[in-house]
Amino acid sequence: MIAAVREFANRFLGRGDATITVPSFDGALRPNQKLESAETLLICESPEDLATDGRNLFIADGQRLIRLDGGTASEVRSFERPISALCALPGGGLAVALGGREVHLYASPSAEQPSVTFADAAFSAVNALAPADDNTVIATDGSATCGVDDWARDLMELNRTGRVFKLDPASKKITVLAQGLGHAFGACAHGNGVLVSESWRHRLVLVTPGSAPRTVLAHLPVYPSRLSKASGGGYWLTAFTARTQLIEFVLREPAYRRRMMAEIDPAYWVAPRLRSGLSFKEPMQGAHIKTMGVIKPWAPPRSYGIVIRLNAEGQPLYSLHSRVDGVNHGVVAAIEMGGDLVLIAKGPGRVLRLPLAGLAEEFSS
Amino acid sequence: MRDTLTSLRYRYWPDHLLGEILSKRWTETAIPVILLLIIGLALSRSIDNFLSPASLADTARQAGEIGFIALGLALVVIVGGIDLSVGSIFALTDFCALYCLDVLGWPVPAVVAVTLLCGALLGAVNGVLIGYLRLRAFITTLITLIIYRSAYDLLIQRYSNAIASAFPDIPSWDFIGAGSVFGVPTVALVYIVIAIFGHIFLTRLRPGWHITAIGGSRRSAYNSGIPVRRTIALCYVASGVLTSIGALFFASRLGTVGGDIGVGLEVIVLTATVLGGITLGGGKGSVAKSAVGVLIVLLITNGLTTMNARGGVNRMALAGILLVAAMVDIRWQKNRTRIISKVYVAPTYHSLPPPPSTEIGQGGPFEQNDKLRNVESIGLGRIEAPEDVILDRHDNLYAGSRHGDIIRFLAPDYQKMEVFAHIGGQPLGMAFDRADNLYVCIGGMGLYRITPDGTVEKATDETNRSMRSVNDDSRLRLADDLDITDDGLIFFSEATVRYEMDEWPVDGLEARGNGRIISYDTKTGATRTELRGLKFPNGICVASDGQSILFAETFGCSIKRYWFAGPKKGAVEVVMDNLPGYPDNINLASDGNYWLALVGMRSPSLDLAWKMPGFRRRMAKRVPVDEWLFPNINTGCVVKFNEQGKIVESFWDLRGENHPMITSMREHRGYLYLGGILNNRIGRYKLDNADPNFVQYDNRWGKQS
């Protein structure tokens, strides 16, 4: 009763859960335009995920699996459904999620047939894969009701149905490690548990078997996505887009959201996007007005590019950005290969490369 | 169904009035008046004869006496102080009057003069201590309260018998206390006269302004050269004199010097003052507030007495009211602007049908193209915010800038740029009259005229005030675009009467018809409102028939026609509606059609939000302006339409890189010149198949020899 009254008062006064505050990009998240200076390795239609066996770079581009060797790209194989996640397995193998609904394990990237196939009915939006220490594969599933590409609807419906699975190739058993997550998107083994990005709750949680998820990094101003290990300890955390107060506000307006989802083309929703500025039908916010021919980089981002370097404890060290006036938005995957950081900017459909040398010195505060 | 209910709710319930009423200064007086009416009504229902003439006259006598004291206290409180000694001064001057009359046997005029002098002296003690010696008002008047009271006690010990035994029978003295003119007690008449003078004094005379200024900020008043100390001291003197006037009437009415005279009077008067709405912090108050406060307090105390409440209850009630009133006053003063800003923005229901298609491949008159890709830039980076552009008969190009200048680019290459005139406000729409005077709408200032030699003259900055508007809408807030008829009548639009120019997004958020169209007669100088209730009226163009104007409603996404002459005079007709964008300026084309700039394009998310006023109201409260859902004004286009309202052609710049925003366009000798209020350039586009000799104002007013 008291809780209900308090919730009503909060909604009425815009306090408590009804506040729409978004943390600012500050400290380790201080903005820069480093991603704009990254070298474009490849432009493709719909790059989704990256994997490397140390020598070759594998890129999931729609239904095609591409190998980038030096400067040349070659198609390794193609699938019937778009690849929704990719990871390299120890021993030269490769794991591939297709359309979010099944996971294939291959002994080698070019192997004819999958060594193991997982196709559980529970799979709906498998969006990231990661190898675990005990020869198993960790898979995150964003939503039980919305497909991989329908994540904006998942956000707008306030769904909290993300799950983390453990796939055991030996026994072909699927274990649920965690459920009820706000869009699980990206995982990385961490000690005896798994670090998982919980996009809609803007945080990183540590999932350990047999206990509730523990928050590692919370109150992010962005929606975190895939993770990868960084050399020298720590992780690269991507975030596919940033939060805005307008979207936080819309998330607290059920009537508007309902009508928006029913009446408006999803491309023009008031929802985060991987790219923006393509049409005047997209929602425009006050600070987006071009003044004297200039778009302000600090305007509220409809799309944004950011990758965050975390230390071994999962705390941010520094970050690389592409701000609102930039192009390389929608960073969904980042891995280290050699002395470089390779990223996918899904917005413009680019695979990018940034030399790692000097990054830490330039941006660590 | 739901939309119908919402639309009815917002059509008939005037949400916007609450904020407008609250931001009026008279609301602070209105609330005590309403309280007074409520109490008066309640008491007249529960007590018989409460409103009988005898009862009213009795109340008026008491009200007059206390009213004088309250006036004095009001002065002191407005100047930033407080006077607790009024009760004791009242008692002492009462004694003074009766002593002079009964014991010394002086004539009445002398008694009156000496009593007033006595009051002035007693007040002067406070005044000197507080004004000149800078003692704290509260402690000083508390001490004089005690001293005066002790003096009074000593005096009545000696003289009360002498006074009580005297029965002076002087008609003029009795007239003061019990007389009446046409049934109105003398005291009430004198009070009314003094109150009217007090009102004029406080609101119209220099010393009154000084008092308010000192109460508002003593230091600023001192720095402005106001004699702070003397003014404060004189306020206490005035308080003493006014108290002694009250005492005179009291003395002549009752003729007693009892021990309890004036005891607790300061609480009654203070309650009246605070209840009337005179802020204890100083700087705010009026005579009307003081009078209303006195009446409320008297009604309450008399009502309680009639209902046989004991004295203690009476005083307790008063003290309680004082506490509540002071609390309300403090909270209100602190939060007033915040409350007003929260309730002022009042979005309303605004429904538009789905817009016509603009996508490439979908066909239709608005299909996007890349015709404007080759726009050249004039003055790139040198001019800022040219909302409108205009060319004179000699091909020179004029545009406004946000620095408040009219800039002139000289023909033929438009490289040389000069300040043609400096006005000071943002120039918006422009038009030349027959004599080559340039008329300009200036946001926030009004309609201005610039003669060919560059002299700036004000044409008009106010129109008739509408009777049904709460806000004073006589001043022009956002004159936007204009055109001139053959008879020298200027029609110009005022985009909104509720907001300033930089607050245009708030008007867009409200989506109410806040704008109007005004005419200015260049012959007589008369200004008149022609149409009101328009949704951000913007571009204006006199139609080819010479009897009507075409005007654009930006947030109404429509073009309408208004007949100012001819058989259809006064009628308004829709020319085009449900445009896919927000129309801005309209101008004549060389082929007899009209050019129209669409400053921005509609987006489905805002169209939906316009149907949901509650959503927008909450957005206005919770989300900062920079993050609001805005009308998209980053992309626009130019279209040409004919007399029947059919689109003939449209011109787009798909990427918007050359010319991001278009608010106006002007055809001249085969070129189209483009202005944009947030641009740093003027665009120039070569038109195909356009008359290479078309000069708008040669065409319009005839060639000059």
pLDDT at B416: 93
pLDDT digits (tens, 9 = 90+) for B525-567: 999 999 999 999 999 999 999 999 999 999 999 999 999 999 9
Q: Does B251 touch chain A (CB under 8 A)?
A: no
Cα separation, B654 vs B651, in Å, equals 10
Task: Report the percent of chain B where pLDDT is more than 90.
Answer: 61
pLDDT digits (tens, 9 = 90+) for B283-293: 889 999 999 99
Instruction: Determine whether the interchain pair B601/A255 forms a contact, defined as Cβ–Cβ distance below 8 Å.
Output: no
Alpha-carbon distance A15 to nearest alpha carbon in chain B (angstroms): 10
Which domains, and CATH codes, for chain A? 20-364 (2.120.10.30)
pLDDT digits (tens, 9 = 90+) for A119-161: 989 999 999 999 998 889 999 999 999 999 999 999 999 999 9
Cα separation, A272 vs A330, in Å, equals 10
Looking at residue A297, its amino acid is P
Q: Does B5 touch chain A (CB under 8 A)?
A: no
Cα separation, B444 vs B424, in Å, equals 10
How confident is the model over B429-446, as a mean pLDDT? 93
Cα separation, B524 vs B65, in Å, equals 54
Could you please report the per-residue DSSP string of B367-432?
Answer: ----GGGG-EEESTTT------EEE-TT--EEEE-TTSEEEEEPTTT---EEEEEE-SSEEEEEEE
Query: CB-based contacts of B615: which residues, under 8 Å, 6+ apart?
Result: A253, A255, A256, B609
pLDDT category at B428 given cuts 50, 70, 90 is very high
Tokens 């599933």 correspond to A141
What is the ipTM metric for this complex? 0.92
Q: Does B134 touch chain A (CB under 8 A)?
A: no
- By the 8 A CB rule, do B239 and B265 touch? no
- Is the per-residue pLDDT at B463 higher than 60? yes
Residue B326 CB neighbours (<10 A): 16
- Is the per-residue pLDDT at B705 higher than 60? no
- Look up residue A97 and give its two tokens: 């999620």
- Look up residue B579 and give its two tokens: 């445009």
- By the 8 A CB rule, do B511 and B348 touch? yes
pLDDT digits (tens, 9 = 90+) for B648-688: 999 998 777 777 789 999 999 999 999 999 888 999 999 98
Q: Does B601 touch chain A (CB under 8 A)?
A: yes
- Is the per-residue pLDDT at B308 higher than 90? no
Cα separation, A63 vs A99, in Å, equals 9
Q: Does A293 touch chain B (CB under 8 A)?
A: yes
Alpha-carbon distance A3 to nearest alpha carbon in chain B (angstroms): 22
- By the 8 A CB rule, do B126 and B134 touch? no
Cα separation, B459 vs B326, in Å, equals 48
- By the 8 A CB rule, do B221 and B88 touch? no
User: Does the pTM of the predicted model rise above 0.90?
Assistant: no
Beta-sheet pairing, B647-652 with B637-641: antiparallel
Cα separation, B308 vs B299, in Å, equals 14
Instruction: Determine whether the interchain pair A283/B606 forms a contact, defined as Cβ–Cβ distance below 8 Å.
Output: yes
- Residue (of A285, A305, A308) closest to A296 by Cα position: A285
Q: Which residues of B43-67 are buried (b: 16+ CB within 10 A; e: fewer)?
A: bbeeeeebeeeebbeebbbbbbbbb
**Radius of gyration for the alpha carbons in chain A, expressed in angstroms and rounded:** 20
Instruction: Determine whether the interchain pair A286/B609 forms a contact, defined as Cβ–Cβ distance below 8 Å.
Output: no
Q: Does A263 touch chain B (CB under 8 A)?
A: yes
